[in-house]
């Protein structure tokens, strides 16, 4: 595969890098715009490029970009949104040592404060995988000896820089899709997974897609913890034809998705109504 970077590739890279992460549909729309505005691009002069060809042109561009940035320790990763299942493209650092320490945009004490906030999110009781924004500000204030006002600005910066996302009402913080992608190995090394012996680890890995779950379901089967993203659970049940197991109950991981996305998938509503009626969903 060609790895000669074109002007289009450079624009696409700059764009993804600046927005940090972007959904597939949105990227495809931008990609079409970038190509149609390019005077040097001949491919787009041909009338009537069909949707599949657009997909393949985008794929080719991303593949060339990744070949070129990998040697500098960067990657455009692909990952599905934990609630909608929509594909996202995420610009990440792939340096394998302590990835947080490599971040030169922050001082060492600031990076320690970020780690403390991540600790609080992962270790929040009841699989919440989120903390109150006020708690995050207090944590930052304590770690960096800053006023609560300055700590609030710092938390805003962390959200802008893509570490965390906020609920729609601004009261809680969660790990962003970028952090889940970029920090996946760090999170698993530091906190372990629920597949570890004795289920001692904290990170849940999805039984279906093998990615970290901070929004979804978990249950215990024969002493083993099984966790799923919402959509992954749906797919798993449909494809496996699992019979209900009366001893197995689903517990929600993370906060209510409507607190983040505003829209809730039909799958979630269906399952939640079952949760509400029986306080448990049988597999
Ligand atoms: Zn999954």
* Per-residue pLDDT reduced to its tens digit, 151-178: 999 999 999 999 999 999 999 999 999 9
Q: How many angstroms does the Cα of residue 231 sit away from the middle of ligand 1? A: 7
Task: Give the number of other Cβ atoms within 10 Å of residue 219's Cβ.
Answer: 21
**Segments making up each domain of the chain, as ranges:** 7-93, 108-181, 200-278
Give the angle subtended at the CA of 70 by the CAs of 64 and 72, to the nearest 5°.
125
Q: How many angstroms does the Cα of residue 207 sit away from the middle of ligand 1? A: 7
Q: Residue 45: what pLDDT?
A: 54
Q: How many angstroms does the Cα of residue 229 sit away from the middle of ligand 1? A: 4
Pick the CATH number of 7-93 from 3.20.20.140, 3.40.50.1370, 3.40.50.2000, 3.90.1150.220: 3.90.1150.220
Q: How many angstroms does the Cα of residue 216 sit away from the middle of ligand 1? A: 8
Q: Residue 220: what pLDDT?
A: 84
Task: Tell me the percentage of the chain whose pLDDT exceeds 90.
Answer: 65
Q: How many angstroms does the Cα of residue 237 sit away from the middle of ligand 1? A: 12
Averaged pLDDT score across all residues of the chain? 85
Q: How many angstroms does the Cα of residue 35 sit away from the middle of ligand 1? A: 33
- Mean pLDDT along residues 11-29: 95
Better-scored residue on pLDDT, 269 or 249:
249
pLDDT tens figures, 176-228 = 999 999 999 999 999 999 988 777 899 999 999 999 999 999 998 777 889 99
Q: How many angstroms does the Cα of residue 126 sit away from the middle of ligand 1? A: 20
Q: How many angstroms does the Cα of residue 86 sit away from the middle of ligand 1? A: 12
pLDDT at 58 over 50: yes
Q: How many angstroms does the Cα of residue 187 sit away from the middle of ligand 1? A: 17
Q: Does domain 108-181 sit in CATH 1.10.10.10?
A: yes
Q: Which long-range contacts (CB under 8 A, 24 or more apart) does 232-236 make?
A: 232/85, 232/206, 232/207, 232/208, 233/208, 233/267, 233/271, 234/267, 235/208, 236/207, 236/208
Closest CA to 222 of 238, 200, 206, 199: 199
């Amino acid at each position: 595969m060609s790895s000669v970077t074109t002007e289009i590739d450079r624009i696409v890279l700059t764009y993804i890098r600046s927005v940090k992460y972007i959904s597939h549909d949105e990227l495809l729309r931008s990609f079409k715009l970038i190509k149609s505005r390019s005077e040097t691009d001949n491919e787009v002069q041909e009338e009537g490029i069909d949707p599949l060809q657009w997909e393949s042109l985008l794929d080719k561009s991303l593949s060339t970009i990744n070949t070129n940035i990998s040697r500098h320790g960067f990657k455009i990763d692909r990952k599905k949104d934990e609630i909608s299942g929509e594909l996202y493209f995420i610009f990440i650092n792939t340096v394998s040592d302590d990835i947080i320490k490599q971040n030169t945009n922050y001082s060492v004490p600031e990076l320690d404060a970020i780690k403390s906030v991540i600790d609080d999110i992962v270790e929040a009781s009841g699989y919440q995988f989120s903390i109150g924004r006020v708690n995050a500000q207090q944590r930052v204030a304590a770690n960096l000896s800053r006023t609560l006002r300055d700590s609030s600005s710092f938390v805003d910066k962390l959200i802008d820089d893509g570490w965390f996302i906020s609920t729609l009402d601004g009261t809680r913080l969660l790990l962003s899709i970028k952090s889940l992608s970029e920090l996946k190995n760090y999170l698993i090394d530091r906190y372990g997974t629920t597949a570890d012996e004795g289920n001692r680890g904290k990170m849940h890995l999805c039984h279906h897609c093998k990615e970290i779950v901070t929004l979804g379901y978990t249950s215990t089967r024969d002493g083993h913890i099984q966790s799923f993203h919402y959509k992954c659970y749906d797919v798993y049940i449909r494809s496996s034809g699992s019979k209900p197991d009366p001893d197995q109950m689903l517990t929600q991981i993370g906060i209510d998705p409507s607190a983040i996305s505003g829209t809730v998938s039909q799958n979630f509503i269906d399952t939640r109504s079952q949760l509400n009626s029986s306080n448990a969903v049988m597999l």
